[in-house]
Structure 1
Amino acid sequence: MLTISRPIIVEGKYDKIKVASVAHAVIVQTDGFGIFKNDERAALIRRLAEKNGVIVLTDSDAAGMTIRNYIKNILPADKIINLYTPEVCGKEKRKKTPSKAGLLGVEGTDAEKLREVLRPYSDGGEPTGGARVTKAELYALGLCGGKNSAEKRKALLRELSLPQTLSANAMLEAVSLTVSPEKWEETISKISAKEWQKDEVSE
């Protein structure tokens, strides 16, 4: 069982139960979009973030991203650690139908995968020395501001087990937090050889 001093923000009670099964931590749920009208909950998150910030672990779908953007608007950027569960197609056991995006949420994520995501931020853990990638480098790699940039970015995010909906700026943040320089270089080489040469063929 991991012990994590930073509070963890999740969407719902089943997400909270799942995270609590792998980590001892203060876990605050947003009740989905309920936080948008819950000033007391927003104030609690601000107060909890004052010391060392908070970990935001919402689902990787559009709703989860909307909640992340809300938290981004109520907290300073340096008080937010955005972590993401891998994008895996499927549905939670308790649900009759999959989510709109067809992806497993936090509650449906494999326990060991969830530990891997959280472990670097546990007490005694060592945050990954993330790859320091600049916007200029993304542009040079064709990952923003160019032909098929969005598709190239999706292919890269898929290989990195990050949400494919991340913007270029959000991807930079996620890479700096969760992807080692070695993994970044390895993945860039792999994607360049497999995916991006399609441009050359089409041209």
Structure 2
Amino acid sequence: MIHVKEAIVVEGKYDKIKLSSFLDALIIETDGFRIFKDKEKMAMLRKLARTRGLVILTDSDSAGFLIRNYLTGSIPAEQIKHAYIPDLFGKEKRKAAPSKEGKLGVEGVPVETILEALRRAGVGTEEQEENAGGRKITKTDLYLAGLSGGPGSSEKRRKLLRRLNLPEHLSASSLPGVLNSLMSYEDFVRLTSEESEPSGQG
């Protein structure tokens, strides 16, 4: 069993069952969209965020991002770590049909994928802290790299997200925080200049 200090927030009971099979952690379900009206559970999540920190691990579909964004808007950013599972397509064994977007949820993805998502979020590792001194990737860097605010930027961003195995619903405003946990500013510059591959003289 892998011990996780932070409380992990998932959408439903099957996600919790999956994580409980290999993580020694406090795992809290949002019960899907019920969290939007459940004041008591929200108060508990705020308290846990203050005392031990939260890891948000929702599905990579639009419903999962709706829940993630709601929690992000309700709890101070410094108390939250975001773990993102990539867009993997398929159907959970217990379901008769795939989800509306055809993506596997937390319960359906391999254990290794979840562990990688937690590692990328900086859970159970101090390596992100060590990188904290370097130059950070900012929203301006995304704009200058053509990944936001310009013609074709959303398509370029989607390509980058696919390349990094991140979910397509990840917004431009959330992207710098995720990129900073994955790479240095220099790595980002290398990656985006590879993507551009300018032809002719510049």
TM range (shorter): 0.7 to 0.9
For 1:83-162, what aligned pairs fall within 5 Å after superposition? 83-119=83-119, 120-122=122-124, 125-128=125-128, 129=131, 132-162=136-166
TM-score for both structures, normalised by structure 1: 0.87
The one-letter code of the counterpart of 2:109 is T
Structure 1 residue runs without a partner (length 5+): none
Q: Distance in 1 between matches of 2:189 and 2:22?
A: 31
Structure 1 runs, 4 residues or longer, greater than 4 Å off:
none
SS in 1 for 2:28: strand
Aligned-pair CA distance for 1:147: 0.8
What number of residue pairs does the alignment pair up?
Answer: 193
TM-score for both structures, normalised by structure 2: 0.87
SS in 1 for 2:154: helix
Aligned counterpart, 1:46: 46
For 1:172-183, what aligned pairs fall within 5 Å after superposition? 172-177=176-181, 179-181=182-184
Aligned-pair CA distance for 1:51: 2.0
Structure 2 residue runs without a partner (length 5+): none
Q: Distance in 1 between matches of 2:57 and 2:116?
A: 13
Check conservation: 1:92, 1:108, Cα contact below 8 A: yes
Identity score, percent: 45
SS in 1 for 2:99: coil
* Structure 1, 94-103 or 183-192: larger mean CA deviation: 183-192
Aligned-pair CA distance for 1:168: 1.0
Summarize the Cα distance change of 1:87–1:28 in structure 2 as closer, same or farther, 3 Å threshold: same
* Structure 1, 106-115 or 125-134: larger mean CA deviation: 125-134
Summarize the Cα distance change of 1:75–1:61 in structure 2 as closer, same or farther, 3 Å threshold: same
Check conservation: 1:92, 1:104, Cα contact below 8 A: yes
SS in 1 for 2:81: strand
Q: Distance in 1 between matches of 2:18 and 2:153?
A: 35
Q: Distance in 2 between matches of 1:63 and 1:53?
A: 23
Check conservation: 1:159, 1:187, Cα contact below 8 A: no
The one-letter code of the counterpart of 1:113 is T
Aligned counterpart, 1:164: 168
Summarize the Cα distance change of 1:95–1:190 in structure 2 as closer, same or farther, 3 Å threshold: farther
Q: Distance in 1 between matches of 2:44 and 2:19?
A: 19
SS in 2 for 1:136: helix
2:34 aligned with 1:34: yes
Summarize the Cα distance change of 1:127–1:121 in structure 2 as closer, same or farther, 3 Å threshold: farther
Q: Distance in 1 between matches of 2:187 and 2:89?
A: 23
Q: Distance in 2 between matches of 1:110 and 1:87?
A: 12
Q: Distance in 2 between matches of 1:103 and 1:191?
A: 26
